[in-house]
Amino acid sequence: MSFDVEDYFQVSAFEQQFRTDDWGQLECRVEANVHNILQLLADQNHTRSTFFILGWIAERFPALIKEIADSGHEIASHGYNHQRLINMTREEFRLDVSDSKSLLEELTGKQVLGYRAPSFSLSPQTLWATDALKEAGYHYSSSVNPVPHDLYGMPDAPRIPFRWDNGLLELPVTTVELFNRRFPCAGGGFFRLYPYCLSHWALKKANKQLDGPVIFYLHPWELDPAQPRVKDAPLKSRFRHYLNLKHTKPRLEQLLKDFNWGTIAELEAVTA
């Protein structure tokens, strides 16, 4: 179970509406939304999860990051300013992943093992990023979504954990295979789009197909139906972002009951 900790105005779909320089002037809702998630996890047998956290969030809400870690969850990096890799130079990326890792480790006193690229933007064009992650001391990346998509995706990547040429472990987000095609089934907008019964069925099938654990993800803003509406964003972006927000919390509650979850760091391959 994993959560990409970012606020509603930091998503890539709204990057044309909200400049990074303006983020500090906007209402931050991430703290209350993360507290909501922490309570859900505590209520379900203290389920432990991995939180991929933006450096921008950690810098402004240090007590929140410490609370997540003190609750037994894994702290991992989501970069600093939620910039997609395709929009960064190699040096900018190197500083981004190094600075965010150092900040999170300073706040928690624990080693940060994992990284997830904003919007799963690790692609065939940005594979140079894996060397920067290895050099920065990360043990794993969970940045590949092995499906075709208009905004992200590496449809030819393995569906199971694998290592890049430099030895960095990659843990792809889970997909299900039907009729020789891959379909996303492990979180985000698809969890809000599909009826819960379909998500449940697909995760169970993927679990059997992969003969191993599934990797699921959500964002705190997906549990916040009262968040401000961005009216000047493209229709497709608004549809994807606001679809079925009111259903996310009860579906997540049911998901926590129906499956056994843990942190990514608990996988033996991460520390091997």
Q: What is the pLDDT of residues 180-212, one digit of tens each?
A: 899 999 999 999 999 999 999 999 999 999 998
Helix (H) or strand (E) holding 91, with range, is helix 90-108
What is the structure's pLDDT at 27? 94
Q: Can you give the pLDDT at residue 272?
A: 65
Matching residue, tokens 């401000």: 228
Instruction: Mark 9-29 as b/e (b = at least 16 C-beta within 10 Å).
Output: bbbbbbbeebeeeebeeeebb
Q: Which of 37, 68, 35, 45 shows the shortest CA–CA distance to 259?
A: 45
Alpha carbons 219 and 37: distance in angstroms, whole number: 10
pLDDT (0 to 100) of residue 150: 66
Which contacts of 83-87 are long-range, i.e. CB under 8 A and separated by 24 or more positions? Answer: 83/20, 83/118, 84/12, 84/117, 84/118, 84/119, 84/121, 85/117, 85/118, 85/121, 85/122, 85/123, 85/126, 85/129, 86/121, 86/123, 86/125, 86/126
Mean pLDDT, each 10-residue run in order, the chain (272 residues):
97 92 95 98 95 98 98 97 94 97 97 96 93 97 85 82 95 93 92 96 96 95 97 92 96 97 88 65
CB 78 within 8 A of CB 107: no
pLDDT for position 18: 95
* DSSP characters over 12-37: GGGTTTS-GGGGGGSPP-HHHHHHHH
At residue 117, the pLDDT reads 97
Q: What is the pLDDT of residue 268?
A: 72
What local confidence, expressed as pLDDT, does residue 50 receive? 98
Instruction: Quote the DSSP letter at residue 54.
Output: -
DSSP character for 137?
A: T
